[in-house]
Amino acid sequence: MAKRALITGVTGQDGSYLAELLLAEGYEIYGMVRRLSMENYDRIEHILDRIKLVNGDLLDEYSIMDAVSSVQPDEVYNLAAQSFVPTSFAQPMLTAQFNGLGVLRWLEAIRRLKPDTRFYQASTSEMFGKVREVPQTELTPFHPRSPYGVAKVYAYFITVNYRESYGLHASNGILFNHESPRRGLEFVTRKITDGVARIKLGLASQLRLGNLEARRDWGFAGDFVRAMWLMMQEEQPDDYVIATGLEHSVREFCEIAFSRADLDYRDHVVEDPEFWRPAEVHHLLGDPSKAREKLAWEPEVTFEELVAMMVDADLERVGREMKGA
């Protein structure tokens, strides 16, 4: 019988790649979606006929309990979250509810209704924040720098706690930044590649960005969802850093992205304090040795390939939109 996976956040970047992967692995897939005034299935339109949608919201424990009862999932991937760091400063309560207590609601529902369900929590390198060591491993202490990061630390530890207290198969993937042509337009990589396309095609001349010196360990989302699945197949639940082990600055991202379109970023990028954060995470670099050794996981797409993939996709999309197609 096919395994059943329930994915929260299926309409998001990672949810869409994970759904594709699990379909290829022969899973029966349920995606949890919340009610919006207009459907936003753009990222999963191409697979909508092969997945089943269930209604629910991280804020509503009854909808989560109903989902567990009706789907009887073998694996739950909890990817849903308020995922944009600046919004967490503007809406800290909502972020704590979604990203912190939302995870507790899932763990409680599983513990009470189907305790043999395997649970994946989308933890994050943002928990390392003001980093205590370089590179960061599973043993590096956390020092989050945003309400987003603080809520994710709660989520991380409540996941560990339910594993230790109740024996749940609950694992944290501590994922470093991962990107793709499906990345939301507000995140810096996609903002840059969309900006490159608009400038190249004559729709804009400037791109206003914040801190160009911030450094991140950027990988490809398609590679990173494979790590989520691999850790759920392990007999023992555990926590893993998922990263490429290489870092670049926002400035370097700009340089490569603009040159992909034969442009010089120095002619177009304007530094704007509007995009500075109340507390910045200056530098993140992961050490994925444990995932490499235990899960045999390796990223396949290089940084340069990722930037090229994103620029090319945005050039194609913006060009298509200009033609009205």
Kindly list the catalytic residues.
124, 126, 148
We find the least distance from the C-beta atom of residue 174 to ligand NAP, in angstroms, to be: 8
We find the least distance from the C-beta atom of residue 56 to ligand NAP, in angstroms, to be: 7
Pick one of ligand GDD, ligand NAP, none as the site partner of residue 281 (Cβ within 5 to 8 A by kind): ligand GDD
Instruction: From 104-112, 124-132, 257-265, 294-302, give the range in contact with ligand GDD by CB under 6 A.
Output: 124-132
> What does DSSP assign to residue 210?
S
First and final CA of the chain: distance in angstroms?
42
Pick one of ligand GDD, ligand NAP, none as the site partner of residue 275 (Cβ within 5 to 8 A by kind): ligand GDD
Residue 182 contacts residue 194 (beta carbons within 8 Å): no
Interaction between residue 209 and ligand GDD (CB under 6 A)? yes
What is the DSSP secondary-structure string of 90-158? Answer: H-HHHHHIIIIIHHHHHHHHHHHH-TT-EEEEEEEGGGT-S-SSSSB-TTSPP---SHHHHHHHHHHHH
> If binding means CB under 6 A, how many residues of this protein chain bind ligand GDD?
22
Instruction: From 26-34, 204-212, 287-295, 312-320, give the range in contact with ligand GDD by CB under 6 A.
Output: 204-212
We find the least distance from the C-beta atom of residue 223 to ligand NAP, in angstroms, to be: 12
Instruction: From 15-23, 119-127, 261-269, 309-317, give the range in contact with ligand GDD by CB under 6 A.
Output: 119-127
The secondary structure element, H or E, covering residue 222 is helix 221-233
CA-derived radius of gyration, the chain = 19
Interaction between residue 283 and ligand GDD (CB under 6 A)? no
For 166-182, give one letter per residue: b (16+ CB within 10 A) or e: eebbbbbbbbbbbbbbb
